Structure 1
Amino acid sequence: MSDPAPHALLRPRIALPFLLVATIWGSTWWVITDQIDGVPAPWSVVWRFSIAMPAMFLLARVMGKPLGIGRRVHLLAMGIGLTQFCGNFNFVYHAEMHLTSGIVALLIGMMLVPNAILGRIFLDQPVTPRFVFGSAVAITGIALLLVHEWREESLGGNVGLGIVLAVAAMLCASVANVAQANTTGRSVPMVSLLAWSMLYGLICDVVFAAAAVGAPVLPDRPTYWLGTAYLALAGSIVTFPLYFTLVRELGPGRAAYNGVLVVIIAMMLSTLLEGYVWSPLAGLGAAMSLAGLIVALRARKPVAKSG
């Protein structure tokens, strides 16, 4: 594939889906806050993928992708389902009980760091000095944001626990990212792999929800179900095909800049809708985080992307 023109992102056929994907993924962080309002987080995860899973199978069928993936790929899909669609999302939903959505988005945005380490170990991908420098700058910025969050305790929750949960979510997603980039994962269409992964993840979600909080909870708020449908359909079904098109058009490195814009949108929405209060410390932390992410993204091709 030839290298795209420097200003390819300015073309409408690329810029419009780029902005749409970032806007949707950036907004999902805030929508989750309503999903955990009076509803046990594990059951909210179940309801989300109860909609997304069959929709992903339908999308695979409409696109003409095969659903027969073989035993080895099924085992991989089970692992991705457990880590991405069960572990990652349950940790994220619980983390947002203690941290603002923008902070959680920033922590998840640092997934490039464990991706690089795991990619080096399992995929033999090099880690450049520039990537290490950018990651160090971003981590320093996130540390400043977390110090600000700790001082403010804006949600009145356990900030330390929220950090642990968000980091656990990031690590789960990173494991799934690297796993789907191996030879087995590349042997099948991504939509087919995602459909089966969501199915296995949903099974894990139901078992975990039943064990952790008991009987299913079905809220009667229309806004809850609208939010669930948005997370399931827009946050998964719409964005994945658009993002994969961007990868083909821009290359994986430039397409991954989408993640930086996601963080910016998430922080803006957190400010407007959650009352996130900026201080000079938080502003410096956000600037350093985004600058570090940009440096890191320019230094290497990321393993994969999740939304």
Structure 2
Amino acid sequence: MLKDFFGKKKKKYATIPGEQSKLEIPEGLMKKCTNCHKIYYRKEMNKNINVCPNCGYHHPLTAWERIHSLIDEETFEEWDKQLTTTNPLQFPGYEEKIEKDRQKTGLNESVVTGKGSIDGQMTAFTVMDSSFRMGSMGSVVGEKISRAIERANDQSLPFIIFTASGGARMQEGVLSLMQMAKTSVAVKRFSEAGGLMISVMTHPTTGGVSASFASIGDYNLAEPGALIGFAGRRIIEQTINEKLPDDFQTAEFLLKHGQLDKVVHRHEMKSLLYKLLSMHRKGGKTS
């Protein structure tokens, strides 16, 4: 009996699996909604054009994701890809930050310009990308947008721009602020020549971009929930010594106060752009 009690048979204990035996989940497989915090397969979100299936929150799109979602396949011709930013004011570390964003995004700057067709309607098309320096507007961004507007005029094309920006780029100082006037003048000349401009503001469109070309289209549209404004909420509240509404500077607030023509769901954007282009398809002119 004692032999049985003190036998060599050992009790089996549960063991913790080693690192190699753990189930490996590929990085980037899942995506959590910023708004409702539900988790989805990234492929599912991509198919839904980065709109949350549960709450409808519009997650940011890169410039090329936007182009692929709207422009007919194999019709997009990029313009001025070779233009790159220098460091005119010798701002410390600026060139390193630009190079880091180039490696991260595959872009030379925070805007992609070119032309392509939307359901057969040819248009000049410009997209800002907030993943590159938060879409901030430096001298190259202003130059690319101005050139795109001028080419649209020369080729009798309508001009569509999707904005996403934190505003003027501080590392370029006054050279960045000058782009507000430069782009606005290009839009004015385009308009006087009868050109059609459609501006679509996405989250966020702020600072010098919102105060210049983004807000002076023939049609000013926005995606749901987009933050649109010049100065920040805190600065305005401290200046006027008043509490602002909760929905202040949202696309819906601007629509309610007459600063937008329409707030457009991403799933309806291509259809609406096609309708607007069709209305003005005679040479891309507004007349």
Category of TM-score, reference length = shorter chain:
under 0.3
Normalised by the length of structure 1, the TM-score is: 0.23
Which has the larger strand fraction? Answer: 2
Decide which structure has the larger Cα Rg and report it. 2
Higher helix share: 1
Bigger relative contact order (CA 8 A; separation at least 6) = 1
